């Protein structure tokens, strides 16, 4: 059997993707920081066969995920016919604990898309599929929308916007014109709860269909994309943080005003946000937070103030984290080809 291995990171959205249509197309453009410490490593061993797929997560056979991968592969076969009829044995593991309550679909589906692109390239005798960022991003998007933004770094934008040339709803692009301070960003993820997500992503996106505030939300996200591109260019860390917090609150507001409504923050989330507001007004440090579709708080700050921020997190915020769990991540440069 031939084997291919890729390591692909997670990402954290600053302008959020929430709402979709058609075949995994976003209702609004989104932008994210590519992470580096939270990643999925996936190996695919393959041989000529009958299209049989076996999937192992951290050494344990997972038939439910094998079924999801089977439908993903059959979607990709339309574009990479050389995948047809191959048998796959897929092994996947995460660098972060399974129960960390952080979304793993971005890293998992991008690692898988990269592996399948490389397999198709090997079988067809060309490296095209595995090296073209927009093509791999497009494949990853079909697995999970946010995965489209994990195939390169340090920042990726997914969704068509007049604010940046070359953007598309089909794939994410690297944002080039960025002040170097953003490449030094840290993301300390404060794990308030490590329970399973209350709302799975696909059900969450569906809440935006017919949502009374949906149109305004999509419009605002589009405007914020234009604003953040200027902010990134200028290196304005306070404007960046303010926009990140506004987006986090909007995402949660959308869930609170859905039918049925969801409250994803926990008391610990609110305590951390209040402590952050006080810390910022005391110190003036550019530390801001964002939230995913859950209660955990992503603390975002530039590396030059890391020593002070880490000390504060340890002394004042750790008590709100379940089992004192905090994952320290930072901006990275995207996936790594491990071996073939
Ligand atoms: O990729 P999905 O379908 O799991 O959606 C991710 C949605 C958010 O994480 C809430 C926001 C985002 O843009 O990553």
Mutation pick for ligand 1 pocket among 10, 109, 139, 145 (CB with most ligand atoms within 8 Å): 145
In our burial notation (b when 16+ CB lie closer than 10 A, e otherwise), range 17-46 reads: bbbbeeebebbbbbbbbbbbebbbbbbbbb
Centroid of ligand 1 to alpha carbon of 2 (angstroms):
33
Measured between alpha carbons, how far apart are the two ends of the chain, in Å?
11
Mutation pick for ligand 1 pocket among 16, 24, 197, 228 (CB with most ligand atoms within 8 Å): 16
What pLDDT is recorded for position 227?
98
Centroid of ligand 1 to alpha carbon of 146 (angstroms):
5
What is 297-327 written as a DSSP string?
EEEEEEGGGHHHHHHHIIIIIGGGSGGG-EE
CB atoms within 10 A of CB 64: 9
CA angle 199, 204, 209 (to 5 degrees): 150
What pLDDT is recorded for position 315?
98
Whether residue 70 has pLDDT greater than 80 = yes
User: Is residue 109 within 6 Å of ligand 1 at its C-beta?
Assistant: no
Greater confidence (178 vs 66) lies with: 178
The 3-state secondary structure of 122-180, one letter per residue: HHHCCCHHHHCHHHHHHHHHHHCHHHHHHCCCCEEEECCCCCCCCCCCCCEEECCCCCH
Whether residue 103 has pLDDT greater than 70 = no
pLDDT tens digits, residue range 38-63? 999 999 999 999 999 999 999 999 99
pLDDT tens digits, residue range 298-321? 999 999 999 999 999 999 999 999
Which residues partner with 35 through β-bridges? 331
Angstrom distance (rounded) from CA 176 to CA 337: 22
The 3-state secondary structure of 82-137, one letter per residue: HHCCEEEEEEEEECCCHHHCCCCHHHHHHHHHHHHHHHHHHHHCCCHHHHCHHHHH
Nearest CA owner, ligand 1 atom 6: 146
Whether residue 20 has pLDDT greater than 70 = yes
Which residue, 57, 15, 337, 30, is CA-closest to 158? 30
Whether residue 131 has pLDDT greater than 80 = no
Ligand 1 atom closest to the Cα of residue 16 is: 13
Which run of H or E residues covers position 71?
A: helix 63-77
Angstrom distance (rounded) from CA 13 to CA 187: 11
What pLDDT is recorded for position 128?
58
What pLDDT is recorded for position 198?
82
34 pLDDT tier (thresholds 50, 70, 90): very high
What residue spans of 237-283 are helical by DSSP H? 237-256, 267-283
Ligand 1 atom closest to the Cα of residue 12 is: 14
DSSP character at residue 239: H
Nearest CA owner, ligand 1 atom 4: 201
What pLDDT is recorded for position 1?
82
Centroid of ligand 1 to alpha carbon of 201 (angstroms):
7
What pLDDT is recorded for position 329?
97
Percent of the chain predicted with pLDDT > 70: 97
Average pLDDT taken over every residue of the chain: 95
Mutation pick for ligand 1 pocket among 105, 146, 248 (CB with most ligand atoms within 8 Å): 146
pLDDT tens digits, residue range 175-217? 999 999 999 999 999 999 988 878 888 899 999 999 999 999 9
What pLDDT is recorded for position 19?
98
Which are the contacts of 64, defined by CB distance < 8 A and separation ≥ 6?
A: none
What's the pTM? 0.97
Query: Is residue 102 a contact partner of residue 35, using CB atoms and an 8 Å limit?
Result: no
Which residue, 296, 306, 300, is CA-closest to 272? 296
pLDDT tens digits, residue range 225-283? 999 999 999 999 999 999 999 999 999 999 999 999 999 999 999 999 999 999 999 99
Centroid of ligand 1 to alpha carbon of 17 (angstroms):
6
């Amino acid at each position: 059997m031939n084997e291919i291995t890729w390591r692909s990171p997670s990402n954290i959205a600053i302008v959020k993707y929430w709402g979709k249509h058609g075949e995994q197309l976003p209702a609004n453009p989104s932008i994210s920081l590519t992470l580096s410490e939270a990643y999925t490593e996936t190996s695919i061993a393959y041989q000529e066969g009958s299209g049989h797929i076996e999937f192992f997560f951290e050494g344990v056979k997972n038939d439910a995920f094998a079924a999801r991968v089977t439908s993903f592969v059959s979607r990709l076969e339309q574009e990479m016919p050389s995948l047809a009829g191959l048998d796959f044995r897929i092994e996947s593991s995460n660098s972060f604990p399974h129960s960390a309550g952080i979304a793993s679909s971005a890293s998992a589906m991008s690692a898988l898309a990269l592996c399948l692109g490389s397999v198709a390239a090997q079988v067809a005798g060309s490296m095209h599929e595995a090296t073209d960022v927009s093509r791999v991003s497009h494949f990853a998007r079909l697995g999970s929308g946010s995965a489209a933004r994990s195939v390169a770094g340090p920042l990726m934008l997914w969704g068509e916007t007049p604010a940046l040339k070359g953007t598309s709803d089909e794939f994410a692009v690297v944002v080039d014109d960025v002040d170097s301070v953003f490449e030094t960003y840290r993301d300390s993820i404060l794990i308030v709860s490590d329970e399973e997500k209350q709302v799975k992503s696909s059900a969450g996106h569906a809440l935006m269909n017919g949502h009374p505030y949906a149109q305004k939300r999509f419009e605002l996200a589009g405007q914020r994309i234009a604003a953040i591109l200027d902010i990134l260019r200028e290196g304005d860390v306070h404007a960046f943080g303010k926009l990140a917090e506004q987006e986090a609150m909007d995402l949660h507001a959308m869930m609170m005003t859905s039918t049925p409504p969801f409250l994803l923050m926990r008391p610990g989330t609110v305590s951390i946000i209040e402590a952050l507001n006080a810390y910022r007004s005391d110190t003036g440090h550019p530390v801001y937070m964002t939230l995913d579709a859950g209660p955990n708080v992503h603390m975002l700050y530039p590396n030059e103030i890391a020593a002070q921020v880490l000390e504060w997190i340890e002394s004042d915020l750790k008590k709100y984290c379940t089992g004192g769990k905090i994952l320290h991540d930072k901006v990275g440069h995207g996936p790594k080809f491990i071996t073939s």
